Structure 1
């Protein structure tokens, strides 16, 4: 039997590859070879071999222009199968049903999937006038309430790299198509932690969304309410924030266990308000953005795949 190189146990190699995979999955935008190497503290040749292996297995995808690595089609399919088969989905659906019963409008649960928003689940209102969208629906980031929540935690460079050159695709006469306007909107979203959609993707449709975030404030999912603009406005939707945040908290509590804390240690909370984040020259970026999450403070994370 051939001797294994350096007698490294198979599980060590597998776990090392899984750690690299985790790093790319958690990143707010596609990562370069140097960024993955620095984040994992591995030799560059080793990182490259692992990334190439994951790419060949279609677990990761390498962007042809930027040469950066992002989630591949096989990993996406695997993640979605996990979401669909999870017994927790029954609990999430029940929470959405209760939110719809309280609010009276359609509610949905979304995640970031590549450069789109993916509907994990949705419960429609019983009112005859409504926008019908099925779970599995994908919508753009720049003109949806949930999408703006996911974008607001990225730097301007990351947003541009993810969205591509302007003008951004227009869907209605109210769609934001210029980055200057989008960044202004994202600053408001970052400060309020409320994403908005005002007839930007669909005519006669408004929506607001609230985040589901981990202990570090990283937004990995969102809960939103949709309504016809003939029945609701952005302003009137704001009265539903308590119900939405309650639903988001309940769903978030099932997605990951509470962090272990030492007696007397402060409880980590999601950043809210203008004083909760700093805006650097690169744009609306949280002070604990992806660079910091991948840097020195490498606390264990329980973020699900996205």
Structure 2
């Protein structure tokens, strides 16, 4: 799906308006996963393949609404406070981070390694929460709020594997060009999906950090749909075959606890 897409049955003005909305959300998603110090206009435009005038026009409008701000008065853009206030209501209706907090803490203490909760966001996988363990080497560079095209991270591949077939194909098609930016071959993504479906979990070396390995299991709702993934990220040597076999039941039980808690809260509300 490109930005110049035409929509059958919709007049030109409506298409332009739809394009603007889509571009605005693309910018917001990029900023949400960007550097705390903000992103330069030229980098935003380049990443989204937009012209500089178009990017500037959208950023200016978002800045006027308080959704975007300049970082420290610089020429770098980041999400503004208004974006946080808009998210308060939806956050309370999607309490997976709150309900999973104790599970992540228990897993970090039990394993000594970094434990992450990932959730799907449009075509991305977002690190929604993390807990660091006691082992000297931790995945500190993977921050809460960081985004990857769904399929780049091991947790993202696990969530992809549990999407409906049509939705999975759409995500793969729309992320295909983005995978190249992460040195993520499509065949690795497809193999990860197949392996996850065959065994119910996935262990793979990191594509973004040499010497690091991740293991992920899905967090499912009552219908079996993956609403998140719990991952352990550790040095490669700490996730060998024997230790994976010992840790897998812990991760699966943690994912089950989160899914059950979400179901019980829904039934009680």
Settle same-fold status: TM greater than 0.5.
yes
Q: 1:80 to 1:147 in 2, by over 3 A?
A: farther
Contact 1:211 1:248 in 2 (8 A): yes
Matched, 1:147 2:156: yes
Structure 2 counterparts to residues 165-176 of structure 1, below 5 A: 165=177, 168-171=180-183, 176=184
| Correspondent of 2:131 among 101, 123, 137 | 123
**Structure 1 counterpart of 2:172:** 160
Q: Aligned Cα RMSD in Å? A: 4.1
Whole-angstrom CA distance in 2 between matches of 1:112 and 1:123: 19
For residues 57 and 151 of structure 1, the distance between their equivalents in structure 2, rounded to whole angstroms, comes to 28
Q: Deviations over 1:63-93 (max 9, x none)?
A: 9xxxxxxxxx99x965576437977744421
Q: Which has the higher contact order (CA 8 A, sep 6+)?
A: 1
Paired residue for 1:221, among 222, 228, 236?
228
Decide whether the 8 Å contact of 1:55 with 1:62 is kept in 2: no
Aligned to 1:96: 104
CA contact (8 A) 1:198 1:207 kept: yes
TM-score computed with the length of structure 1 as normaliser: 0.53
Please say if residues 203 and 214 of structure 2, whose CA atoms lie closer than 8 Å, have aligned partners that are also in contact: yes
Distance 1:159 1:131, change over 3 A: same
Aligned partners of 2:115 and 2:233 also within 8 Å: yes
Distance 1:199 1:158, change over 3 A: same
Q: 1:96 to 1:153 in 2, by over 3 A?
A: closer
Q: TM-score, normalised to structure 2's length?
A: 0.60
CA separation of 1:122 and 1:258: change in aligned 2, threshold 3 A: closer
Q: What is the rounded CA distance, in whole Å, between the counterparts of 2:254 and 2:103 in structure 1?
A: 6
Distance 1:58-1:166 versus aligned 2 partners, 3 A rule: closer
Is the Cα–Cα contact under 8 Å of residues 208 and 234 in structure 1 kept in the other structure? no
> Residues 57, 256 of structure 1: CA spacing in aligned structure 2 closer, same or farther, 3 A cutoff?
farther
Note the residue ranges of structure 1 that are not aligned, 5 or more in a row.
Answer: 1-31, 35-43, 64-72, 261-301
Tell me which residue corresponds to 1:277. none
Contact 1:206 1:234 in 2 (8 A): no
Partner residue, 1:202 = 209
The answer for unaligned runs of 5 or more in structure 2 is 1-5, 27-61, 68-82
Matches within 5 A, 1:20-31: none
More helix by share: 2
Alignment deviations for residues 31-90 of structure 1 (CA, whole Å, 9 cap, x no partner): x989xxxxxxxxx99xx9xx99x9699599899xxxxxxxxx99x965576437977744
Alpha-carbon spacing, 1:240–1:89, altered in 2? closer, same or farther (3 Å)? same
Equivalent residues in 2 for 1:31-46, closer than 5 Å: none
Structure 1 position 107, deviation (Å): 0.7
In structure 2, the CA distance between the partners of 1:235 and 1:198, relative to structure 1 (3 Å rule), is farther
Structure 1 residues 169 and 96 mapped into 2: Cα distance closer, same or farther (>3 Å)?
Answer: same
